[in-house]
Amino acid sequence: MDVSYKQALACCLLAVVCGCGAPKSSNDTAEDSNLSAAGEAKAGGETDATAKSASSASSASQPELDRLDMGNQSAGDASVGTSGSLPTLALPEGLNPQISLIYPSVSRAVASEDPQAWANLAVLSQQIAVDLATANQVDSSIDFFMQSGQALRKALAGGFAEFPESMPATIFVFEAMGLTARDQLDAAVGALDDAFDNGFTRLDLVTESNEFKALWNTDSYIKHLSRWESILAEHFAALVQADLQATKAFPFSFIANDVYGIEQNLESLKGKVVIVDLWGTWCPPCRAEVPVFIELQKRYGDQGLQVIGVNFERASTLAENTKLVTDMIRSLGINYPCLLGTEEIHNQVPEMAVFPTTLFIDRRGTIRLRLDGAREHSYLESAVKFLLAE
């Protein structure tokens, strides 16, 4: 239990915080979570994407203490406050001294029922919970995740709306994880409901993560699942529509053999909706997105979808690059053709700056959507559905 919870927390700190909302436009770069310049790839340079993502998650997931509006409060003694039905938790020992200094006054301030005070408690409790989970103090971390969610509801009910982007959704998701671990399943579903109402978009984390497995067969979960799917369908449909309108078409074509020697001619695919995924086996966000393309090809291939991978690899020889791709095809079970990218293909994409870059081409052969960086399953599927329906 302790180990799985800590592992899930580490994964979710990246996925929840960095992926709560899809970018508003296909022109967004998402530099913190996607690999960097294609120019570097051409030159053989490599960006440490893992370190960049971890750094981004750390800075995004741990609320900044200087965001707290302490007013004229002073730390005073170490007692904690009580307000209504929500007594604040005692602070465990061994935490950041700055937290130990300000937590007592933050706790006492909620007695005023001021929404700002509740917001401060929500933010600070979330950071304490993350710190405790990182230190493997699982039970205490759950307590503070739950306190964070309860305080957040008080703040929102009081009209406070100045949280950092995606923080409310993040707080509610971690509260739901804690409630699930405590077998408070209906309450966990309620927390997830609050998360989706506040912009959470990673439904796959809920439907696939073992930390939520206990919910899957409950009446409450089954009842709410269709609502969450509807919220996301509407959300992503609007994003896709906006991005389709913003995308400027450009000429793009290729005739090349894939890694198994079979010719792939983009022109011959007119009449189908085509996804061209420009990626590399060395790119973590690229690899993470591939299972989505596998699923889309499986689900929509009979309806006229064709995915093609164009790989930009970094080995020194053609044979080595080919092996990298064929090994990845076998490892991931890729069910669509992949070919090695060339400078000619790369140069057709204006100002290509990140991997992955994904092109959506309609049945007439026109590029309708360009995505710089990885996107969520629901977004990609929404784009496929729209183009297939035309």
Percent of the chain at pLDDT > 70 equals: 78
Name residues whose C-beta falls within 8 Å of residue 346's C-beta, 6 or more positions apart in sequence: 38, 42, 278, 312, 352
pLDDT digits (tens, 9 = 90+) for 126-147: 999 999 999 999 999 999 999 9
- The answer to whether residue 83 scores a pLDDT higher than 90 is no
- The answer to whether residue 7 scores a pLDDT higher than 90 is no
Mean pLDDT on 121-125? 96
Strands 338-340 and 86-87: unpaired
What's the pLDDT score for residue 36? 33
Range scoring the smallest mean pLDDT among 8-22, 39-53, 203-217, 223-237: 39-53
- The answer to whether residue 66 scores a pLDDT higher than 70 is no
Name residues whose C-beta falls within 8 Å of residue 367's C-beta, 6 or more positions apart in sequence: 247, 249, 250, 252, 359, 360, 361
pLDDT digits (tens, 9 = 90+) for 153-180: 999 999 999 998 889 999 999 999 999 9
What's the pLDDT score for residue 235? 93
- Look over the chain and give the mean of its residue pLDDT values, rounded to a whole number: 83
What's the pLDDT score for residue 271? 97
Q: Which of 18, 20, 283, 338 is catalytic?
A: 283
Range scoring the smallest mean pLDDT among 3-7, 20-24, 194-198, 378-382: 20-24
Q: Which of 215, 202, 263, 271 shows the shortest CA–CA distance to 16?
A: 202
Q: Give how far the C-alpha of residue 163 lies from the chain's centroid of Cα atoms, to the nearest Å.
A: 19
Tally of CA atoms within 13 A in the half-sphere of 358 that contains its CB: 25
What's the pLDDT score for residue 10? 46
What's the pLDDT score for residue 105? 93
Cβ pair 271, 306 in contact under 8 A = no
Residue 286 catalytic? yes
Q: Which of 12, 20, 286, 338 is catalytic?
A: 286
Cα angle at 133 between 62 and 137, to 5 degrees?
140
Q: Which of 277, 265, 282, 358 shows the shortest CA–CA distance to 320?
A: 282
Rounded to two decimals, the pTM is: 0.68
Which range, 27-31, 263-267, 376-380, is most confident?
263-267
Mean pLDDT on 91-115? 91
Domains of the chain: 2-22+51-238 (no CATH), 255-389 (3.40.30.10)
What's the pLDDT score for residue 93? 86
What's the pLDDT score for residue 69? 52
- The answer to whether residue 56 scores a pLDDT higher than 80 is no
- The answer to whether residue 151 scores a pLDDT higher than 50 is yes
- What's the rounded Cα separation, in Å, for the pair 281 and 172? 34
What's the pLDDT score for residue 46? 33
E strand map for the chain: 82-83, 86-87, 255-257, 263-265, 273-279, 305-311, 338-340, 357-361, 367-372
Confidence of residue 68 (pLDDT cuts 50, 70, 90): low
- What's the rounded Cα separation, in Å, for the pair 362 and 364? 5
Mean pLDDT on 348-359? 96
- The answer to whether residue 261 scores a pLDDT higher than 80 is yes
- What's the rounded Cα separation, in Å, for the pair 327 and 89? 51
What's the pLDDT score for residue 8? 52
pLDDT digits (tens, 9 = 90+) for 271-300: 999 999 999 999 999 999 999 999 999 999
What's the pLDDT score for residue 328? 98
| Position with higher pLDDT, 319 vs 55 | 319
Mean pLDDT on 97-112? 92
Calculate the alpha carbon distances from 54 to 10, 13, 61 in Å. Answer: 10, 9, 10
pLDDT digits (tens, 9 = 90+) for 199-233: 999 998 999 999 999 999 999 999 999 999 999 99
